[in-house]
A and B are shown apart, each in its own frame.
Chain A
Amino acid sequence: QKEVEQDPGPLSVPEGAIVSLNCTYSNSAFQYFMWYRQYSRKGPELLMYTYSSGNKEDGRFTAQVDKSSKYISLFIRDSQPSDSATYLCAMSEGTNAGKSTFGDGTTLTVKP
């Protein structure tokens, strides 16, 4: 079993919809949680990161962490066609983001 499991998708939503992307993990040592966006197999781009349980908001994006349930989510409000990409969750045991464990990604398509 993988340390990080991500809802596989793919997801297809209409423009303006709220999107929920989810990951679960098994390693209790994970302390640092990240979400990346990857377009057409380009390099991943960091969207958000958080250390603690709770919510963190940045514009249309909200990252949510529940350490007790080993569950993290990314919510996208008012989704746009430009949000169409693969979203990867990642986590690390310390703050060393260079050694992260990634989920396999969820591909999102936002239709105009």
Chain B
Amino acid sequence: DAGVTQSPTHLIKTRGQQVTLRCSPKSGHDTVSWYQQALGQGPQFIFQYYEEEERQRGNFPDRFSGHQFPNYSSELNVNALLLGDSALYLCASSRDFGGNTIYFGEGSWLTVV
């Protein structure tokens, strides 16, 4: 049973560029959340997708956007990259919207130079 998978694992981008990160949820899960984890800090909630719609959003600017596909996989897009966007981006999935157990992927390391 595959867990949450994320790609790419590592990437380096230049300030001002755009990036797309991808996530496939755990089998049987239909809800996906995205988190940003800066070095030395805990994960910060970006947004959550269920039934292909953004259901919850954290305190992140509109440069951060997402999408969920009919197969429940999800993308996180970040436009106009800033140096401060350098972080580990984590995807988590749950069986239902409002589910009390989430499973995290290994994350995508983004470095902005």
Contacts and interface: CB of A to CB of B under 8 A. Distances in A.
Interface in B56-79: 56, 58
Nearest to A103: B42
6 contacts: A43-B4, A43-B90, A94-B98, A98-B33, A98-B98, A99-B33
A10 B106 CA distance: 23
Nearest to B92: A98
B56 A98 contact: yes
Taking residues whose C-beta sits less than 8 angstroms from the other chain, chain B's interface range is 20 to 34
Interface of B: 4, 31-33, 35, 37, 40-45, 48, 56, 58, 88, 90, 92, 94, 97-107
Contacts of A109: none
A50 B50 CA distance: 24
A98 B31 contact: yes
Interface residues of A, number: 24
Contacts of B42: 4, 6, 88, 90, 102-105
A60 interface: no
A49 B101 CA distance: 9
B100 to A, nearest CB: 4
Given A43-B92, A102-B35, 17 more contacts: A41-B107, A43-B107, A49-B100, A88-B42, A94-B98, A95-B99, A95-B100, A96-B98, A97-B99, A98-B32, A98-B48, A98-B92, A99-B45, A100-B43, A100-B45, A101-B45, A104-B40
Contacts of A66: none
B90 A44 contact: yes
